[in-house]
Structure 1
Amino acid sequence: MSLATPTATPAGGERESTALKFGVMLYPDGALLDLPRQFRWLEDLGFDQVVVPDHSADLRDRTRPWFDGWSILPLAATATERIRIGTLVSNPILRPPATLARQALTVDHLSGGRLDLGIGAGLFDWDHHAVGEEPWSPKERAGRFADYVAILDGILRGRGEPFTHAGKWLQARDVATVPGSVQRPRPTLMTGGQSPTVLRVTAERADVWNTIGPMIDDGDEILAVTARQNAKLDELCLAAGRDPKSLRRSFTPFGPFDFWHRNVSLEEIVERFSAIGMTEFVFELPPQDRMSEFEHLATEVIPSLRRSVG
């Protein structure tokens, strides 16, 4: 494990890189003890990032076996040396912000500073029901997200001084901030979502924005909406006093762009979305009978795509 002290891209700082990056979403639904091998395998294939979701059950089929994403990230940290690890995205329904901050600091240290901390606004009713509460209204979800990210950002940037946040929806008082994070000024912060509040908070605080686009079956409209949201993020960054180029943009192929199940290629997705400013792509593993195609994609297709924009 590398113990070098990397530097995360601070909100408002210079963008880490405009080179294409590729990550994999690994669902914690398989044999638990096989996960370290899978993490090493993805690292050996040359991927930049591996992320896990954060839900109370499998969002595709809640009757299937499911493990906790944050509990397996220490396995990823100790099983790998280079690949960045994280969540896409952490779930505010399930985790109070100070608890998540402590988990993030732990994994940041275990990984030698390779954590990408993805945060969402919390969406599914069944996650709310799992913790014994009623689903939030859109207004409450938006307000909670802004407070949640502010608390996380503040704790993770701390260097020993207690942190306090008095928000409308969430509060934190005298939260300990030791030890500090390995990454400076804090672990990479990635937000997921498309609401006006998510976009505003992203521009103010995040290093990376991830989107699946609107949940429709029209690829051209998904591309157009994502382009408009990217342009809006540029405006919001400028309003927040930061260079829009300091905010990296990440796309997760979904719906008509799910290239394992639709008639579309990764090359086409990268060509179309990189043209509107997306430089990072995170996708799921294919069905088991297409793993040879996945390895070809990792060892031949992705290197070629990197060279084409290098």
Structure 2
Amino acid sequence: MLCLPTDDWPTWLARARHLDSLGYAHLWTFDHLSWREYAGRPWMSALPLLTATAATTNRIRLGTMVASPNFRHPVPFAHELMTLDQISAGRFILGIGAGGTGWDATALGLPAWSTPERVSRFGEFLSTLDTLLTQPETTLSGTYYSASQVRIVPGCAQKPRLPFGIAAVGRKALALTARYGDAWVTTGASPTRPVEEWRLSIAEQWRTIEEECAKIDRDPGSIDKIFVAGGTPERFTSTVDTFANLVDELGKADFTDLVFQHPREDDERWNDPIEVVEQIAQRFLHGSAENSCVSE
């Protein structure tokens, strides 16, 4: 389940505990400094919010959808991630992408990175983060990021580190998914295709991951496939039957997880009936192995 970090803490906490009790596997939130028309409105910081949620829930896994390098350095970020993973007892998943060109990109008072620089930074960010979270001590000097005798102690609760779910569309980012990703995150959208062709986009992107995995002798089956409903023309949570059609289609494509936005009355993009949350849980999250890809 994907929830915007816009509500006050008591409201957020009640929703998180309810989703936990319903059996949803994951709770994700956006990692931005602000977002679209929500600029100037209440917007909580993702990592402190998820850390507090980890301390007040029992089972549900927690993740960023997706973390951005636009305003971060991997050294302090690695410390924060390790701490969150420890507090959650190994329930955290790092959803991460290359970052966009919106307000986050210039929030630190610097020009937005070009696309080639953003992709190059992303690769170095992932590599540095992976090293920081898996090695006892890190000293490195990169083009964009450096570290000197950094120790992330006691390390992640999950071994060898917490999982990376990498949001990727282009070839270079998909290659990074093959190298560093424990999961691939996609909406199916492609910058070179109309959104109506999202199904073809998914197949093409996954073939690229398979090709990149072959280059490094990695089994692509070791990478989970997370679909985020939202970049598609359909309203999949309008009814539980409509949702079931998507579950069936994604299951045939071997997706392991389906993430959808929690309904919101104040946003027309996601103002589907709130009852669908309980209906989906009742139909898909209570012991049906054939619907195992429904976890969010």
TM over 0.5: yes
**Distance in 1 of aligned mates of 2:284 and 2:223:** 26
**Distance in 2 of aligned mates of 1:138 and 1:263:** 39
Contact 1:209 1:249 in 2 (8 A): yes
Instruction: Identify the residue that residue 181 of structure 1 maps to in structure 2.
Output: 156
Contact 2:240 2:276 in 1 (8 A): no
**Distance in 1 of aligned mates of 2:190 and 2:217:** 31
TM normalised by structure 1 equals 0.85
Once the two structures are superposed, residues 157-203 of structure 1 have per-residue CA deviations (whole angstroms, 9 ceiling, x without a partner) of 12xx3212333332223222221111100011111121222111110
**Distance in 1 of aligned mates of 2:43 and 2:55:** 21
Q: Give the secondary structure class of the aligned counterpart of 2:188.
A: coil
Instruction: Identify the residue that residue 259 of structure 1 maps to in structure 2.
Output: 236
Instruction: Identify the residue that residue 281 of structure 1 maps to in structure 2.
Output: 258
Q: Number of matched residues?
A: 285
The change in CA–CA distance for 1:263 and 1:140 in structure 2 (over 3 A counts) is farther
Matches within 5 A, 1:286-305: 286-288=263-265, 290-303=273-286
Q: Give the secondary structure class of the aligned counterpart of 1:154.
A: helix
Matches within 5 A, 1:168-247: 168-214=143-189, 220-247=196-223
Root-mean-square deviation (CA, aligned residues, Å) is 2.3
Matches within 5 A, 1:38-77: 38-77=15-54
Cα deviation, residue 60, structure 1: 4.6
Once the two structures are superposed, residues 208-256 of structure 1 have per-residue CA deviations (whole angstroms, 9 ceiling, x without a partner) of 0101122689565101011111111111112112111001111001131
Cα deviation, residue 34, structure 1: 2.4
TM normalised by structure 2 equals 0.89
Contact 1:54 1:89 in 2 (8 A): yes
Contact 1:27 1:52 in 2 (8 A): yes
Report % sequence identity. Answer: 29
**Distance in 2 of aligned mates of 1:28 and 1:78:** 17
Which structure is higher in RCO with an 8 Å CA cutoff and minimum separation 6?
Answer: 1
Q: Give the secondary structure class of the aligned counterpart of 1:183.
A: coil
Cα deviation, residue 129, structure 1: 2.2
The change in CA–CA distance for 1:261 and 1:167 in structure 2 (over 3 A counts) is farther
Instruction: Identify the residue that residue 154 of structure 1 maps to in structure 2.
Output: 131
Q: Note the residue ranges of structure 1 that are not aligned, 5 or more in a row.
A: 1-23
Q: Give the secondary structure class of the aligned counterpart of 2:153.
A: coil
**Distance in 1 of aligned mates of 2:84 and 2:58:** 13
- 1:138 counterpart = 2:115: yes
Instruction: Identify the residue that residue 138 of structure 2 maps to in structure 1.
Output: 163
Once the two structures are superposed, residues 32-86 of structure 1 have per-residue CA deviations (whole angstroms, 9 ceiling, x without a partner) of 2322222111110101100111111133532322111111111111111111111
One-letter amino acid of the structure 1 residue matched with residue 277 of structure 2: F
